[in-house]
Amino acid sequence: MAVTHVLMALFAMGSWVSVNSLWVELPVVVNVLPEEWNLPAYLSVLIAFGNLGPIAVTITHHCAPGRLNERLIIHIIQVLAVVTAAFLAIFWSHTVTVAGQERSIPFFLFTFVLSFVCCTSNVTFLPLMFRYPPQYIRTFFIGQGLSALFPCIVALGQGVGKLECKSVNGTTKPEYLKENFPAQNFFWFLFVMLTVSALSFMALTRRQTAQMHIPPDPDNTSAAKSGEETHPLHNGTPVSEQQVQLEEQQPPAHSFWTLHNVYLLILLALSNALTNGVLPSVQSFTCLPYSTMTFHLSVVLGNIANPLACFLAMFFILKSVSGLSFLTITGGVFASYLMALAALSPCPPLLGYSSGIALVVLSWILFTGIFSYLKVVIGTLLHEAGHSALLWCGIFIQAGSLIGALVMFPLINVYHVFSRAQECVNNCS
């Protein structure tokens, strides 16, 4: 069982590791590619177009329930991601002349393909979890947390964003230090992580096939007959492809769309809108006015809080609606504080004080941890509602993330609501 948990975490790591890696490597690639600091705007748009994948999967499930082979789709998109990452490592800096201007067409193309894979993973990886006992979905979310943590640690080792303030002719100017290794090496690391994820899924599939041929435990059989185990997953044996397709095709015993489940999906969409769309867009505005180290601490410790919160859910699940609502409100308080810091940039409160730095870092840790725990709990509860519930879980995760990103894009890139702090300058004098 421990081996299956490890393989599940490594498999889930591949879900969003590509997009997370592209974001953390932006400070390096913007210094090389001709789009420079307009690149984040392009990246946001390409990720939005990546939602064509989830749309196609959702339409297929609706028009032909039970016909989509999720295992095959996962194999295809994983191979596509591995091949694309290899091409990205080789050709990321190549440009093409379009209308007399140099454009990073190869980088944009590879970014779109990787975004397509990441977005599609939410509506293929999660429904796959119906084949496994409920505890594995918590391991799955731990793996998703690692998809943000590992690239961040590597980027810190690379020395992304390090600078020194140097005086030139009486004027203090920032000088960015050269990275410890180039972007090409970082993208090869992405290739390795995606390969490990793909191999882990192959190993999971082989273990699942092997377990299907193991005779059932008589004790478990008698327990199921006596009513102690009514869910087919609770005996610890994965469910076969045929069983999943049968579950999809049969009409549900009761409607999934109860008020309780709809409320859970709304909380899920809200938490993902905040954690994947709204707050990451303004993280630099909340942290950089204090210092570059504040930004690095917030990113790293926040990403550590993610898998730790998921690990906590392995032992404690808060199932009451009132408890989940309280968690959402508490996380919303920290989110509101961070949004206020971004709005007040480049002169946030407690600037120049250690307490200000500690407060912003702690807010990022608690904000990330609370909503990460909330997502795992909701995913676990929806697991009990069947395969289609996990499909809708993935759809609402993706929809919330997309809405959050689309809301923030014009505020930052069009209306310039948030002001960026200038390095090595007193922005509040």
pLDDT in the model for residue 143: 95
Q: How far apart are CA 199 and CA 197, in angstroms?
A: 6
* Domain extent for 363: 1-209+260-414
Domain membership flag for residue 370: yes
Q: How far is CA 166 from CA 138, 169, 173, 352, in A?
A: 48, 10, 5, 20
pLDDT in the model for residue 66: 78
Q: Is the pTM of this model over 0.95?
A: no
Would you state the structure tokens that stand for residue 77, as one six-digit string? Answer: 């998109």
Q: Which of 343, 341, 394, 396 is nearest to 363 (CA)?
A: 341
Query: Can you spell out the DSSP letters for 240-251?
Result: PHHHHHHHHHSP
pLDDT in the model for residue 254: 61
Query: Can you spell out the DSSP letters for 183-194?
Result: HHHHHHHHHHHH
* Identity of the amino acid at 403: I
Looking at the structure of the chain, the number of domains it has is 1
CB pairs under 8 A, 24+ apart, for 158-165? 158/28, 158/185, 158/186, 160/24, 160/25, 160/27, 160/28, 161/27, 161/292, 161/295, 161/296, 162/292, 163/292, 163/423, 163/424, 165/423, 165/424
pLDDT in the model for residue 224: 42
Domain membership flag for residue 52: yes
pLDDT in the model for residue 230: 37
Q: How far apart are CA 387 and CA 246, in angstroms?
A: 10
Q: How far apart are CA 413 and CA 40, in angstroms?
A: 9
Domain membership flag for residue 401: yes
pLDDT in the model for residue 206: 92
pLDDT in the model for residue 223: 43
pLDDT in the model for residue 168: 79
Domain membership flag for residue 115: yes
Q: Is the peptide bond before 307 cis (omega within 30 degrees of 0)?
A: no
Q: Sign of dihedral through CA atoms 221, 227, 229, 233? A: positive
Tell me how many degrees the CA angle 203-145-147 measures, rounded to the nearest 5.
Answer: 65
pLDDT in the model for residue 231: 41
Domain membership flag for residue 291: yes
Domain membership flag for residue 419: no
* Identity of the amino acid at 251: P
Domain membership flag for residue 217: no
Q: Coil, strand or helix: which one is 428? A: coil
The CATH number that applies at residue 305 is: 1.20.1250.20
pLDDT in the model for residue 61: 87
Phi, psi (deg, nearest 5) at residue 226: -80, -5
Domain membership flag for residue 219: no
pLDDT in the model for residue 80: 98
Q: pLDDT tens track of the chain, all 429 residues? A: 899 999 999 999 999 999 999 988 988 888 889 987 678 778 878 888 898 999 999 999 888 887 889 899 999 999 999 999 999 999 999 999 998 999 999 999 999 999 999 999 999 999 989 888 888 999 999 999 999 999 989 988 998 767 788 887 777 787 778 889 999 999 999 999 999 999 999 999 998 777 765 555 555 444 444 433 334 444 444 555 555 555 555 555 467 899 999 999 999 999 999 998 899 888 988 998 998 888 888 988 898 899 999 999 988 899 899 999 999 999 999 999 999 999 999 999 999 899 999 999 999 999 999 999 999 999 999 988 888 889 999 999 989 988 998 898 888 878 889 888 777 778 886
